[in-house]
Every structure is written in structure tokens, then in C-alpha cells.
Structure 1
């Protein structure tokens, strides 16, 4: 397996008061001081707009004299009580020189509002941000001339976005519509807890009680579960009350597969497709998938996998973890606080992450969902805007670290601070920031927009935070770094593919019906309703799968994949 290193892209802007128009440096080492530095960066690229009101690309303020733009923002009402006195709203104007006339729409209503405007052909503001639109919707209206195509501006008039696309080429590919245009500057965030989603957490105290080592192979994991079942692993005197492995049908990454299937063949727990010989193919038709189902069926048949794994919900299952005596030896879940409260460490701190198990062939890979752009809080520009070039410069700035700190974390030394250089972050590197006022605290009222904005956030915004004793997410994050990073598959199906509008409805129907059929039959093979050892049963499953137009589904996917790769 290729061992990948997550590199945090540093785009921080250093404060300087030496001149009124300043140039952003190519890279700095921490968030302290977030305006642009004195002088011009040799890294600046592009010819820039011919509009005389604009300063050179990458320069703050963005304009030589104040100009007004209209912007609609889907917002959290609990974060914005008065936009005229709102810290982030005023700070954006101060830094950029652009006066924004805000139309704020409740985030729960903004999608309907924008859809009605688009359908009616109403006049649009210069910028629409965080309108909860999908890529399909944005690309549809973009291709019809409603939203401005941005790729030319990104190439010739961008500072932050162009640099990020160079460092993160997949982000650029994911932004492109089927027609090659880019109609939205989306949001992007790296968080290892979600990137490495499907996991097995095992009770470390039970391992100690039975003097067992952490399992490293499927066979060792089987033996550990068997010992949990038979040897009173929780030391309560009852050898029959332990559930060796459990999950629930509505649990985040509680998918019966994932980390159990990966030793045999990669299972992304979503569409369950893989890359093979440069093409997208189904994992669920391969011989290795069948071998994985045999293994999981063995766990179920011997009472090692919870018999209620497909029928119980989280509220039912959590009782195994909430009592004075824990009854679950291991669990399939993204993180333990999806089951028990973060504020009760006694309920989750005994559970440790199981490294990727080696299968019979020696394969050991982790579930890896590459970080992807999201359109829901992205920004689009009205194609009829009289100030489209100014609007683009502002949206370009939204992808700077400075803008992200202002709009989501607040004011330096008030809401967050830069730690000393000798302080380590959760990721083991010099800490990037220390949170003073956490999201949801009353101190942040009328100060930030939160995640309901356009931004590009690298791993250090989470992994680079100062370590806090007893913080559940930080503990889980460190477990991921220690156990899973470096075990990614060589290739995975991109999380976003540019499917044409002519095929999107057909694709959605096929994706839904095929995925449902595969998951239903996976469950039947696991619980023994279908015999995974029977060639007749397996071949019947494959034949029935073809009736769902699997070939057409893969054709659509691979056509989009070829566009993506270009």
C-alpha cells in the first residue's frame, strides 16, 4: 500500500501596517497576525483584471476604493443577531475594502428561497453563499448562463484558489462540471475522523483482563472475539453476558462490512465500488467479496457478531455501554461518542482503535474517504453582476486562511490565540491554534458565521489545535493518526464525479436501487438467509444483480471518471 502523508497547506497572511496596500506571502508558519505582509509576493500569478478599481491579485485590501456588493447568505440565526455590528461581517469589509449589503436567510429556508428565485427568473444578488444548493443544481443553472463560469478567473485573476488547486489538484477536478466549467467556489475541510471513517473500536480493558494482544489479522480478531464470548472478559462473574462485536443500523459508519471486509477487498461502505485496471468496477461481484462475506458470516453464526446488528438502533445498542459493567467487547463505529456522551470519559476511554486487519492474502487497508469539496455552503456569482470581477476577488479571498479564521473562529487573542512554538497540537506537530471560545459558546454570538460559509480548511485547523486533557475527539483523532494513517488503498473512486445532466436522473435511480440490493443481499449472506458457501446462491445473486442494469450504471460512472481524470 502506498503510504500517504497528509500535508497541511499553509496559506496564512502576516499582519503589517507598513503600507496601505499589502501583498500576501506565499506561506507562513502560524495564524498569528493575519493581514497581508509588506511588499509583493513573487508567488503571485495571473495577469489580473483590467478593472482599475482592483488592486494587484493577492493584495489587501482587494480594491483601491470602497465598492458595494449585494450578497445573500444562508445563516445560523443564533450566530448573527445584528449584521451591522457582527464581528466577521465588519472585519471582512475592513480587510477587503468591499462593503457587503447582506441579505440573510435562515439556513433551513435558504434552499427553497433560492430555488424559487431561480425558477422565477428573479434578479439575483452579486454573490450567493451557503444557499444549500447541490452541485447538480448549480451546474444546471451555470450551464444556462445564470451563474458565472469561474475557471478563467481562477487561472488569470486568482491568488488563493489557484495556489490551492496547484497543491490540491483533486479539489480542482471535483469543482468542474461535465462541460469543463467551474460554477461554484465550494467549501473544503480535512478531518481525519471523517476521512478515515469506518473503524473497529475494541475494549482495551477486556484485552488486559484476558491477557490478550491487540489483534492484527482476521484470524487473531476471530480468536479475540471468541475469548471475549467464552471467558468472562468483563470480570463480572457472568461468562454469558458479553457481546464480542456489535453495531447498530443507524450508527455513523456502523456498516457491517467496512473494516471487516477490507482485509479481503476494499469496501468504502457507500457505493462499494473500486478502481481496477483504471476502471470503476463493483467490489461486490468479486471473489474476494464472497470470501469476506464468509468470514463475517462465521462471526455471526458463532455468536461473535451481535445477532441484533441489523435490527437494533443506537438507543437500544448503547445500553451495552452505559451500565456499571460494560457488555460490548468491540464495536463498528466512526467514533465512540456516536454512542456514549463525550462528557463521560469513563464510558469511552477504555476503547482503543484496532489497526487495519491483515487478510489471508496479507492485505491490510483502511477505509479512506478522500476529502472532497461540498457545494452546500459554496459561493456562486451572478453572471449578470456589474461587478463580477470584484465579486470573484472576494470569493477568492474566502479561501484564504485569514478569512476562515475570521468567519469561523473569530478574533485572534479574543476567541482563539496562537500558541508558543514549543506547544504541540493533536497531530504531534507544532500547534496551529488554541481555541478560547468554542463553537456554541455565548461569547461567539454575533461574531462568526461558523461553518455556514465558503472556506478551504486544511487538516491543521483540527489536528493543529492545542491538546486538551480528556477531550474525546482529540483522543480519537490521535488514535487515527497512530493506527490508520498510511494504510490507504492505492486508488479509490473519487467522491465526486461530473455526471452529465442527461444521465443524472438515470444514475441516481440506478445507484439507489443497486446499492439497496447489494446491502440487502449482503445482510442475507451474513445472517445465513442466503448460503454464502453455495455456488448456486452466489451465482443467482450475480445474475439478479445484472437485472438492475449494472452494466449501464458502470458505463455512466466510467464516462464521468474519464472526464474527471482529464
Structure 2
């Protein structure tokens, strides 16, 4: 999670010029007379900030009514006009906002590319001086976790965005896990599968028998997911073929484009074998995560044998919530591979940017710093309705009422992962977390992280910021190559033919500039590694 700093001579001159202009603007900006550097109110006369971002359907868009924001806003004289878009539409909406230049005071949840480019173009203002002067909570967090500061620092040396950062160790575990209905396993007299071959046999038995007892053996779904989704997709199975379902991974300091490797090829052949037998839900290629969750939780009895998700108990129907037992450690593949990712910790570097139209940047910084106060970050992360503070400074977890799912309860009073917070391992340890039941694991427990450790590989590409020029090169190749490989991968899973088409596929990628695409990532990785060595 460090930054890349290699810049060509020409682009470097431009960046230096931009940095100089930005620093000058920052130094000469006039602070409003009614602004207070410390204490409350932040400003004597009320101000309104317009903030655009996205929301979780379970939370809704009325953020000023959430308990978290009531506490953040209290006594500040800062009022927020939220311009929020459903999460599924945010990518399109934020692109339109940036392209139109009709900016709000603050933009939430941007890509690192948008942050670096917007910062270099003057769309977003530099924040490092204001962090130092007006954001003691964030400053303390960045001092404690210098890797977060590195991740939000652009190659020109400026900070243009504030992060969502969860530094809990357990977050190194992959969020894409496989869950299998243990009650169905009992009915077919089979054990929890430990290999890819055993999984195929289990799913085949699920398909052939009347698992829900309704007299129709053909209406159960053996395995479902959301193709291409990092949490609900089929990526978990790639580890059985000695790779990860990522665009780029790093093995022995060499960047690999996964979809051009033999390991990828073998993973796709296995997925095709499942699909060919009717074991993969055809809707997996068209449904979104909301439809996926609805399908898993529908009815009074489970109709799905296995699926991919983070926590089964948070998305399944209460009447069969615990039928899925525990998530599985990686399956052993045909050659003995049993791999999962040692992930970068959860971070969104571009979660909060202050735009050039903002007339109150100092007040904005002081307001948002309230979210980084440790207890408030805990509330934003875990939900204030779920936490009961005890006299010893720890927190009991309040279980969800019967009229809420665990997921709905968690996001009832917080925007959760749609706004900034700085959550530390220290704050996690202050929670009196429930222990896993004997024989059961859950990704929200540290025990799950410990169980996965033996299989974790440090192959994930680091969370870095590229230069503006490198982002332009990435954009040049990204869209066409991803579109082409998405299409061919889906076709190969559904129809087969990967062996016959493989050589021509690689030639096509070569013509599309794959070698240059890989080089951009290799250069970024090498620069990042050199910078780390200097620390």
C-alpha cells in the first residue's frame, strides 16, 4: 500500500508546476472570520456542504437521519446536503459528474486514477496541510499506520483524498468464500468436500436428489454466484489451480496477467465441467448481487446447495440461516494446489475528495475529521445500534432483532463502507466479539483468519497510486482487454473450447497490447518496491 513515484521528465515538470500552483493556493487561501480552528462550533454561522456519493439500499439515502451523522453534525453548525445515488449506479453517475465539471463540495468513493488525474488537473485541492493543522484524529491515524498515508499520497507528493481504512488483521482473509448446505450433505450421506473432485460429486448429488423435499428433484440449485463479482463470484475456486482470480498477481516479483496463464486455463476447464453437468446456476452470468442474495434467502426452505459470499448468516433466511455451517478452507486441486489470497487490508484511498468549488475547505476538513475519532470510526464501521459500551471501555455486541437480518442491523444507522473511517486493530480488540461455535467458523471471526493462514499467498498486487501518465496507459488497454477476456472466459465456462482457442486467444491479446499493459504494472510495482527499500 505504498505509492509509485516514477515520472517521466516531461510529465514530472508538469506535475511540479501543478504542485507549486496548488501549494501557493493552499498557502494564500483566506480562512473565514467565523471559522474556529478548534472546539465547537466549527463555524459561527451555519454553512451547507453538498456531498455526492452512493448508498446501500439497506441503509437508504437519508443520511442526516442516521445516528452516526447526527453525532458527527452535532454542535458544528455544518449542515450536509446529501446527493446520493444507489451503489449499482454510482460508477456511471460519478463519471458524469466529473465529465460535466458540475461539482459538489465533496465527492465520495472515487478510483485512485480519478483522484490522481483530478488532483493534477486542479479539480481536487491538496489536503496535506489541512490534515496537519485541522485534522488531529486523522493525523494520529496516519502516524499509527504510515502505509495508509503512503496509499493516499499521489506521485506528485500531494494528498488529494481521504481514506476509508480498516486495519483489522482478519481483513487479510479473502471475502470470497464458499458455503455448502450441511443439512443437504447429511441427506445425501456425504462429507464436506475437501477437493475439487469431491465438490463436483457433492453438487451432482444435490442436482439428482429432491433436496428440499417438495417432490420435485429438478428445482434445486446446486451452485450459484455472480460472475465477475469479487465477493460473490467463482474466484474462490481459482486457488485450487495455483492462481487467484485477479487481473494481475505477483509471483517472485514478476507481474502476471492471470487470464494469460496455464493456471487460469485449468481453472476455467474445471468450471466448464461443472456447468456442462448443470451444476452451476445459469443465472450466475446475468444476476447481480441483490438478485443473488434474494435467491439464496427466498422461501421457508433452502433451495441452494452452495454459494459464494462473505457471511452466510447475514444474507440467508432466518429459518435456515445456520444450515450452511462454516465456510470452507481452499479445496485441494488436481495437482495438490490449495491457495487463498493474503489480501491487502480493506482500504478505499479515494473515499473523500474536496473539490475546487468548495468555499469552506477548512471547515470541511474539521467536520470530516470527526469521523476519524476512534470511537466514531468504530460506530461508522460496526453500527452504533449494535454496540453497548461497558464501564471498562469495551463494547458488547447487541444481536439483531428478529425483524432485521444481521446485515440490515449492521447498516441500520451507518453508511458503513460508503463513507470514511479509520478503524484500527486496537478498536476491534475492544469489542467483546462472540466466539465461533465449536466446529464452526465465520469470516467475521479471527479464528477464520487463523484457519486460512497456512494457505495464504502474498500474490496480491499492492495497493499503490500510479502516475497520471501511467493511469492514462492503463486506461488505454484496460477497457478492451477486460471486455475481450470477460467475454471469452464466460463463453469457455458455458460452452467449452478453451484448449482449441487458447493459442489464438493469446495472439489476440498480444495484438491488443498486453505486453505493454503488463509493463505498466511491472514498472509501478518495481518503483514501489524501491521506495519501500528506502524507508
How many angstroms apart in 2 are the aligned matches of 1:285 and 1:367?
A: 19
Deviation at 1:375, TM superposition (A): 5.2
Aligned-partner Cα distance in 1 for 2:491–2:148:
38
How far, CA to CA, are the matches of 1:163 and 1:316 in structure 2?
A: 40
**1:233 offset after TM fit, Å?**
5.0
2:197 pairs, out of 216, 219, 224, with 219
Q: In the alignment, what sits opposite 1:208? A: 186
CA distance in 1, matches of 2:301, 2:400: 36
| Residues 138 and 68 of structure 1: CA distance in aligned 2, closer, same or farther (over 3 Å) | farther
Deviation at 1:275, TM superposition (A): 0.4
Mapped pair 1:456 → 2:438: no
Match of residue 489 from structure 1:
457
Task: Flag structure 1 segments of 5+ consecutive residues without an equivalent.
Answer: 1-48, 54-60, 94-99, 423-429
Any idea what SS the aligned residue of 1:245 has? strand
Residues 243 and 329 in structure 1, CA contact (< 8 A), matched pair in contact too: yes
Question: C-alpha displacement at 1:399, in angstroms?
Answer: 2.3
Say if 2:238 is the partner of 1:265.
no
* 2:389 aligned with 1:418: yes
The reply on whether 1:331 has 2:307 as its aligned counterpart is: yes
Report if the CA contact (8 A) 2:182-2:323 is conserved: yes
Residue 531 of structure 2 corresponds to residue 553 of structure 1:
no
Match of 1:401 in 2: 374
Change (3 A) 1:486 1:149: farther
Structure 2 CA distance for partners of 1:391 and 1:302, relative to 1, 3 Å: closer
Q: In the TM superposition, what whole-angstrom CA distance separates every residue of 1:356-388 from its partner, at most 9, and x where no partner exists?
A: 112234332235543343356425487998995
Q: Which residue of 2 aligns with 1:196?
A: 174
The 5 A counterparts of 1:424-503 are 431=395, 434=398, 453-458=419-424, 464=431, 467=434, 477-478=444-445, 480-481=448-449, 484=452, 487-494=455-462, 496-503=463-470
Which residue is equivalent to 1:3?
none
Q: Of the candidates 239, 243, 247, which is equivalent to residue 225 of structure 2?
A: 247
**Matching residue of 1:513:** 480
* Aligned counterpart, 1:39: none
Tell me the residue number matched to 2:279. 304
Correspondences of 1:7-22 after superposition (within 5 Å): none
Return the structure number with greater helix share. Answer: 2
**Unmatched segments (≥5 aa) in structure 2:** 1-26, 53-59
Alignment partners' CA distance in 1, 2:109 and 2:295: 36
Change (3 A) 1:554 1:207: same
Contact 2:272 2:493 in 1 (8 A): yes
Q: Give the Cα–Cα distance (whole angstroms) in 2 for the partners of residues 286 and 308 of structure 1.
A: 27
Q: C-alpha displacement at 1:287, in angstroms? A: 1.9
User: Is contact 1:320-1:327 (8 Å) kept?
Assistant: yes
On the 8 A contact 2:106/2:358 being kept in 1, the answer is: no
Counterpart for residue 348 of structure 1: 321
Task: Give the alignment's Cα RMSD to 1 decimal.
Answer: 5.0
Distance of 1:67 and 1:239 partners within structure 2: 65
CA distance in 2, matches of 1:304, 1:112: 38
CA pair 157-296 structure 1, distance change in 2 beyond 3 A: same
Q: Specify the SS of the correspondent of 1:263.
A: helix
Pairing 1:517-528 to 2, within 5 Å after superposition: 517-528=484-495
Please tell me whether the aligned partners of residues 343 and 458 of structure 2 are also in contact (alpha carbons under 8 angstroms). Answer: no
CA contact (8 A) 2:272 2:495 kept: yes
Find the aligned partners of 2:94 and 2:277 in 1 and give their Cα distance: 51
Once residues 503 and 386 of structure 2 are traced to their aligned partners in structure 1, the CA distance between those partners, rounded to angstroms, is 60
Distance 1:212 1:302 in 2: 19
Match of 1:172 among 126, 136, 149: 149
In terms of mean alpha carbon deviation, does 190-199 or 554-563 score higher? 190-199
Q: Tell me which of 352, 355, 367 is aligned to 1:378.
A: 352
The number of aligned residues is: 468
Aligned match of 2:336: 362
What is the CA deviation profile of residues 298-353 of structure 1, one whole-angstrom value per residue up to 9, with x for unaligned ones? 22333433455435667599668645654432123444478xx65x3224321132
CA gap 1:201/1:103 in 2 versus in 1, 3 angstroms: closer
Answer with 196-205 or 299-308: which moved more: 299-308
Deviation at 1:200, TM superposition (A): 1.4
Q: Any idea what SS the aligned residue of 1:107 has?
A: strand
Q: TM-score, normalised by structure 2?
A: 0.69
- Per the alignment, do residues 131 and 529 of structure 1 end up closer, same or farther by CA in structure 2, a change over 3 Å counting? closer
Instruction: Quote the Cα distance in structure 1 between the aligned partners of 2:229 and 2:470.
Output: 32
Contact 2:378 2:423 in 1 (8 A): no
Q: Distance in 2 between matches of 1:287 and 1:113?
A: 36
Structure 1 residue 466: Cα displacement? 5.3
Counterpart CA distance in 1 for 2:99 and 2:287 is 43
For the Cα contact (< 8 Å) 2:239–2:339, is it kept in 1?
A: yes
Q: Does 1:504 align with 2:455?
A: no
**Bigger radius of gyration:** 1
**Alignment CA distance shift 1:558-1:396 (3 Å):** farther
Which 10-residue stretch deviates more, 150-159 or 128-137? Answer: 150-159
What SS is found at the alignment partner of 1:348? helix
The secondary structure found in structure 2 opposite 1:456 is strand
**Given the superposition, is the C-alpha separation of residues 181 and 255 from structure 1 closer, same or farther in structure 2, using an over 3 Å criterion?**
same
CA 283–162 in structure 1, closer or farther in 2 if over 3 Å, else same: same
Cα distance change of structure 1 residues 200 and 266 upon mapping to structure 2, 3 Å threshold = same
What's the counterpart of residue 20 of structure 1?
A: none
Which SS does the other structure have where 1:259 is aligned? helix
Contact (CA 8 Å) 2:165, 2:348: kept in 1 or not?
yes
- The structure-2 alpha-carbon separation of the partners of 1:66 and 1:351, relative to structure 1 and needing over 3 Å to count, comes to closer
Partner of 2:49: 72
